[in-house]
């Protein structure tokens, strides 16, 4: 679990303008390990990329990592708004 978390943070932090605002929360669901990536609102577009190419590449890398849990990994992008 921490390997996937470190991998996501290592990939995402250089891509954003506010790397200190990046947070990654992990939730365990029935079939998935949910990784909720929170970035500042102006960095959401940088993470998604044109036509979703950047997030698709990140997800391809993250989903290919072998984990010890029998659950699959799911990566979600959330905006780290001040209201939350």
Superfamily of domain 2-79: K homology (KH) domain (3.30.300.20)
Alpha-carbon span 72 to 58, nearest angstrom: 15
Which pLDDT score is estimated for 68? 75
Query: What does R_g of the chain's alpha carbons equal in angstroms?
Result: 13
3-state DSSP assignment of residue 18: coil
Which pLDDT score is estimated for 2? 64
Which pLDDT score is estimated for 1? 56
Q: Where does residue 64 rank: exposed (0-12), middle (13-18), buried (19+ CB within 10 A)?
A: exposed
Which pLDDT score is estimated for 72? 86
Residue 65 neighbours by CB distance under 10 Å: 11
Judging by DSSP bridges, how do beta strands 23-28 and 32-39 pair with one another? antiparallel
Q: What parts of the chain have a pLDDT lower than 70?
A: 1-2, 82-84
Q: How many residues does the chain have?
A: 84
Question: pTM for the complete prediction?
Answer: 0.82
Which pLDDT score is estimated for 75? 92
Contact 79, 39 (CB under 8 A): yes
Which pLDDT score is estimated for 69? 74
Q: Where are the domains of the chain?
A: 2-79
């Amino acid at each position: 679990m921490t390997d996937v978390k470190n991998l996501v943070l290592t990939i995402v932090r250089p891509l954003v303008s506010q790397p200190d605002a990046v947070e990654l929360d992990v939730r365990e669901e029935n079939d998935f390990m949910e990784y909720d990536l929170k970035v500042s609102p102006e960095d959401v577009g940088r993470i998604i990329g044109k036509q979703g190419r950047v997030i698709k590449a990140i997800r391809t890398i993250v989903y290919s990592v072998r984990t010890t849990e029998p659950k699959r990994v799911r990566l979600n992008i959330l905006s780290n708004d001040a209201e939350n």
